[in-house]
Amino acid sequence: MLLDLLFPNRCLHCTRMIEAHEWICNACWDQVALAHYDFNGTNDFAKKCRVHFPIENAYALFEFVKSSPVQMAIHQLKYKHREIIGRFFAELFISKLSELPSEIDLITYIPIHEKKRRDRGYNQLTQFCTIIGNHFKIPVEHNALIRKIHRKAQAQKSKEERYITQNIFECTQPYHGTHFLLIDDVYTTGNTIASAAWQLLKSGEGNKISVLVMAEDK
């Protein structure tokens, strides 16, 4: 194809030319650390989440390593309009996990503030969540939560600032007896996802939370 010749697809990390359906070359893939938290049941990531809020299952696709291909890919996804990376990550997660628990009722994700969404034009999690929802036949609720406060990105915050993230979300409606799969891109201290999880849990009786993140920062 002429477009492929004029605009070849390149590895997000080293810029080597790769196939159109890939996001990373084989050499850079060898530098990627998979979290191996792609199974149902207790794991170390679930234990870490459980310190902050009650949880059923927790899944993480990658380990977040600074200056790694994963960090670069997530940066491209969030800030450089490379939404297709969300699709690549979703397809990889689907290939790793044969099934999600049948009792999960609804998928939702960490929202960005409306101002940031207007400036950026998209939420980096939308495509990732939609593909996973379609594959596992679980509905995706794009507006279960709203972000009330516009804050700096986690990557720009000091350690102290990251802890001041409580009550920044609001649940848009009551839910009862709902098992949510709550999705975020990177798990750092856990405060952001915990704040969102508690809003969902408190929105009605009998709610449960499972968590999926693209990467866990250890």
Whether the pLDDT of residue 7 is over 90: the answer is: no
Give me the amino acid identity at 47.
K
- How far, in Å, CA of 172 to CA of 89, rounded? 28
**Residue 211, both tokens:** 């968590």
| Mean of pLDDT over the chain | 88
Looking at residue 166, its pLDDT comes to 63
Q: Is 177 left (phi over 0), alpha (psi -120 to 50) or beta?
A: left
Looking at residue 3, its pLDDT comes to 42
Residue 35's pLDDT band (boundaries 50, 70, 90)?
very high
> Greater confidence, 49 or 7?
49
- DSSP string for residues in 9-75: -B-TTT--B--TT-SS-HHHHTT--EEEE-SSS--HHHHHHHTTS--S-EEEEEEE-TTSHHHHHHH
Give me the amino acid identity at 144.
A
- pLDDT tens across 47-80, in order? 999 999 999 999 999 999 999 999 999 999 999 9
Instruction: Please name each of the domains of the chain with its CATH number.
Output: 1-31 (no CATH), 32-217 (3.40.50)
Looking at residue 152, its pLDDT comes to 55
Q: Which residues pair with 205 in a beta bridge?
A: none
Q: Which residues pair with 135 in a beta bridge?
A: none
- pLDDT tens across 150-193, in order? 555 555 555 444 433 467 899 999 999 999 999 999 999 999 99
Whether the pLDDT of residue 1 is over 60: the answer is: no
CA-nearest of 107, 194, 94 to 142 is 107
Looking at residue 2, its pLDDT comes to 45
Average pLDDT of span 123-150? 93
Looking at residue 43, its pLDDT comes to 93
Lowest mean pLDDT among 25-29, 146-150, 165-169: 165-169
Looking at residue 39, its pLDDT comes to 80
CA-nearest of 171, 172, 180, 181 to 202 is 171
Looking at residue 73, its pLDDT comes to 95
- pLDDT tens across 89-128, in order? 999 999 998 788 889 999 999 999 888 888 888 899 999 9
The predicted model scores a pTM of 0.88
Looking at residue 63, its pLDDT comes to 97
Whether the pLDDT of residue 44 is over 70: the answer is: yes
Looking at residue 79, its pLDDT comes to 92
